[in-house]
Amino acid sequence: MTTTLSAPELSTTDRCDRCNAQAYVRVVLSRGGDLQFCAHHWSRHEDALRPQAQDVIDETHRLVNAAAE
């Protein structure tokens, strides 16, 4: 039996580590630990963090969908 784990969706209680706004991106670091960012801070730090990331859960598409409604 094969089990596939999916990353948990970010919720409204997940907060940006830089400004405490709602987080839409979680970066799981290859050396351990994770960081959470709002869309603004993710765009500012993405280039530096991508090489260090084991996984990136990016839910910024939810901002576009919410704005269209």
For the chain, which residues make up each domain, given as ranges?
Answer: 25-68
Look at residue 67 in the predicted model and tell me its pLDDT: 57
Q: What is the spatial distance between Cα 65 and Cα 69, in angstroms, rounded to a whole number?
A: 7
Q: Please check whether residue 38 is in contact with residue 23, taking contact to mean a CB–CB distance below 8 angstroms.
A: yes
> Which positions ≥6 away from 15 have C-beta within 8 Å?
21, 22, 23, 36
Q: Please check whether residue 38 is in contact with residue 16, taking contact to mean a CB–CB distance below 8 angstroms.
A: yes
Q: Please check whether residue 19 is in contact with residue 38, taking contact to mean a CB–CB distance below 8 angstroms.
A: yes
Answer with the residue of higher pLDDT: 49 or 64: 49
pLDDT, averaged across the chain: 88
Q: Is the pLDDT of residue 55 over 60?
A: yes
